[in-house]
Amino acid sequence: MGSAAPAKVNLAEKFALFSEHWSPRLAARYNGNEVRLARVEGDYHWHCHPDTDELFLVVEGELDIEFRDRVEHLAQGELIVVPRGVEHRPRATAGEAKLLVMDADGTPNTGDAATAFVPVEV
């Protein structure tokens, strides 16, 4: 078939490889999607992804996702899917949080390719 053999990913080991906040790392790919890991703290900026949904899973810590009409609080082990085109702002105000974020391949984390951080593979 020509595809690579499956390989497990240890999230704790991958998170230990970097310490920068709001700079996602690419942990895996599947079906045209990227599984990104991010350490976050403080506020990110308002943005949206016009062409794709975005999934946030809190691996450790807490995260608020602000929407223009409400705030959703995520604790460890909780996730949310932000639909395409919905403006949002992630915030980790209770200290550092570790996230697993799933986006379509090449989706800019800022919603704008000109200002996006290109995920580095870990």
Per residue in 1-10, pLDDT (tens digit) is 456 788 899 9
Regarding the domain with residue range 20-113, which homologous superfamily does it belong to in the CATH classification? Jelly Rolls (2.60.120.10)
pLDDT at 122 over 90: no
pLDDT at residue 3 in the model = 67
Q: Domain ranges in the chain?
A: 20-113
pLDDT at residue 6 in the model = 86
Separation CA 12–CA 58 (nearest Å):
13
The helix, strand and coil proportions of the chain, stated in percent and rounded to the nearest 5, come to 5, 50, 50
pLDDT at 23 over 80: yes
pLDDT at 65 over 90: yes
Task: Kindly report the pTM of this predicted structure.
Answer: 0.88
pLDDT at residue 25 in the model = 95
